[in-house]
Chain A
């Protein structure tokens, strides 16, 4: 009787959510798939059907292949810099030491800046002629080290990654700090009584216990990094010579600079597929037995 009544209520209650899901996700997603099969330029009302031509062109597009490499570099380099740093900051500020909360606030502060502001701030700091970085290098007699950081293929991606990490590390630190705070204090104290150093406590107690959170954060980072756009667009626009051109910037350029919405939709679909694959692979590779505590 109760189940029957519940079933009756199911549809009316689900309808609004399903409706919103259909309007705001399923329809645009389906439409994107269709647009990817056309050569629509975003201007004409007609969408000329071209089948899989856009995907064939993508296969032969050297710039697109470059964006795959660049996106992977951004993702891996970002993870290598971000995760140890965020973990270190989270672990350090979780200890009861003087000024830990203030320090945590300072690290977190850049998160409050919009991406555009943070990117412009770094762009100015790295400006070759009146930027802070080259200015400081000049002031300490290291002028020969100064260079157009965002204008060289060898340094542009590193500069963008560092700026991205600087902006976001605070929030990742908070995620890790929340996970670390769930690790039972007694376990850490027992280890300390047994003479374990902070590093050993981290390595053998804290890190294994927060592994589940770490792998989820890793997946989140990968998803976010594969969709990277704003920082790169504002700092380098994908240059120099496509050295920082990633999926997001290339897609934007195809759609809004070249007016090739069909091609941009094809990029979006490949990007969607790659994000799904990478997420599945990383989830699979990082799976371990869950530790209950």
Chain B
């Protein structure tokens, strides 16, 4: 008789009392272990945009092409931007990160922490290796040398590469050519011309500008450029770093007055206070407003919502004669990283290397109207000037938002909230400067 055979009712109970907890334990173990089991030949690529978005579709296409050229390797596309980001963060913390990730590296303390704590694959040796000639950059060209010089500071820490740039974004003015043509207007070059354009548009019952009031960062973009144009970027960065008083910088008051003029004269589309960024962009493409100050991701992001025949124009933020930073372009480099603790980090590196191919970059840039971080990948003519400035080493290329999104919240709020309050009509220029100055002082 087997020792596991039970004859009496008491024995049956005893058997269940043992089997039940064991079964449950096995189940719990199986479920928790299951999460960690991943296929050895899969590379998971995180996208910033959700399924259906043009950027997502482009990455899915790259993944298909990667699979076709790498027999036996599978790819997986996972949404991890915006509301999907916490899910990816949770996976990093659980020790189960995807291979190729959006972000997780930056110039701020948090971005550096991932690199310094060994959670990112050090890509330096891969960057120092020559790309195959089939990649399109010529023979014996190292991966790092195929990139535009301006991107290097955004993907390195202590001369080590921890990220690979996917595209350069720059903040610029977009305008509706048809509205401008109808009103007999041309793209303004100076602040005075810009105000004149706004006044003419308003007189024709067209809202000159649309902006989101639900995200302080986008309202800040206006003030950033006005500050840069008037006083340059260095003193502002010093003030944010706590090295000097913001209010003591000569020219900030004038920049604040310039900004207040836009609000006071009613140049911003009514209802912007409750308009989120997608709706603000939609307002622009629906012709409800003539201009929008936005990143070069605008066209790719809104690809599906741009009406056929929409004539999109761009112009740099207007210059201020006599100003100290008329050449400044705010922007950023979007970068991808490989998680060291992912199942197949080497496959992740291989995927990034593959996606650097010039033909892939060209197709991506043509499809999404981005600015490529790689050499020889021409962007749309409307961004030609911007691209040229990055090719030269990026001396005038400054990090968007003055890098405030890498700063602690009190510093960020001290700078951004008063700007939002000015847009909402709660503060004038002088009050805004005072509040920013006090806030920055208190936050340090």
Contact = CB atoms under 8 A, between A and B. Distances in A.
Interface of A: 9, 12-13, 15-16, 19-20, 23, 41-45, 123, 126-130, 134, 147-152, 156, 236-237, 239-241, 256, 258-259
Q: Which of B28, B92, B269, B273 has the most CB of A within 10 A?
A: B273
A187 B273 CA distance: 54
A239 B117 contact: no
Given A9-B13, A9-B17, A19-B21, A128 B117 contact: no
B68 interface: no
Contacts of A20: 24
Contact of B288 (A44, A129, A148, A152): A129
Given A150-B274, A241-B417, 14 more contacts: A12-B17, A16-B21, A19-B21, A20-B24, A41-B113, A128-B271, A129-B275, A147-B271, A148-B271, A151-B271, A151-B274, A152-B274, A156-B274, A240-B420
Given A12-B21, A44-B117, A256-B86, A148 B279 contact: no
Complex A-B, nearest 7 residue pairs according to Cβ-Cβ distance, in ascending order: A128-B271, A151-B273, A151-B274, A12-B17, A148-B274, A150-B274, A148-B273
A91 B92 CA distance: 51
B409 interface: yes
B214 A12 contact: no
Given A129-B269, A129-B279, A256-B86, A19 B24 contact: yes
Contacts of A240: 213-214, 273-274, 420, 424
If over half of B's interface residues share one DSSP class (helix, strand or loop), that class is named, otherwise mixed; here it is helix
Contacts of A241: 417, 420-421, 424
A111 B337 CA distance: 41
B272 interface: yes
Interface in B50-109: 85-86, 89, 92-93
A156 B214 CA distance: 12
Contacts of A19: 21, 24-25
Interface string B392-419: 0000000000000000110000000100
Contacts of A45: 117
A129 B417 contact: no
Contacts of A149: 274
Interface of B: 13, 17-18, 20-21, 24-25, 28, 85-86, 89, 92-93, 110, 113-114, 117, 119, 213-214, 269-276, 279, 283, 286, 288, 408-409, 417, 420-421, 424
B271 A129 contact: yes
Nearest to B104: A43
Contacts of B110: 41, 43, 259
28 contacts: A13-B20, A19-B21, A19-B25, A42-B89, A43-B93, A43-B114, A127-B271, A127-B274, A127-B275, A127-B279, A128-B270, A128-B271, A128-B272, A128-B274, A129-B283, A129-B288, A134-B271, A147-B271, A148-B213, A148-B271, A148-B272, A151-B274, A152-B273, A236-B214, A240-B274, A240-B420, A241-B417, A259-B110
A151 B214 contact: yes
A239 B214 contact: yes
Contacts of B213: 148, 151, 240
B230 to A, nearest CB: 27
A130 B269 CA distance: 12
A129 B25 CA distance: 56
Contacts of A148: 213, 270-275
Contacts of B113: 41, 43-44
A147 B271 CA distance: 7
Nearest to B24: A16
A258 B109 CA distance: 12
A20 B31 CA distance: 13
Contacts of A128: 270-275
A30 B13 CA distance: 34
Q: Which of B114, B270, B271 has the most CB of A within 10 A?
A: B271
Contacts of B272: 128, 148, 151
Q: Which of B28, B89, B117, B214 has the most CB of A within 10 A?
A: B214
B333 to A, nearest CB: 21
A43 B24 contact: no
B412 to A, nearest CB: 9
B28 A23 contact: yes
B17 A43 contact: no
Contacts of B93: 42-43
Nearest to A258: B409
Contacts of B273: 128, 148, 151-152, 240
Nearest to B212: A151
Contacts of A16: 20-21, 24
B63 to A, nearest CB: 27
Contacts of B24: 16, 19-20
B84 to A, nearest CB: 11
B167 to A, nearest CB: 23
Contact of B17 (A13, A42, A237): A13
Given A42-B89, A126-B274, A129-B279, A12 B20 contact: yes
A187 B114 CA distance: 70
A236 B275 CA distance: 10
A129 B21 contact: no
Given A43-B113, A237-B214, A256 B85 contact: yes
Contacts of A258: 408-409
A239 B213 CA distance: 9
B268 to A, nearest CB: 12
A239 B275 CA distance: 12
A235 to B, nearest CB: 10
B16 to A, nearest CB: 8
Contact of B119 (A41, A43, A152, A239): A43
Contacts of B424: 151, 240-241
A250 B400 CA distance: 25
Nearest to A146: B271
Contacts of A43: 92-93, 110, 113-114, 117, 119
Q: Which of B113, B117, B119, B274 has the most CB of A within 10 A?
A: B274
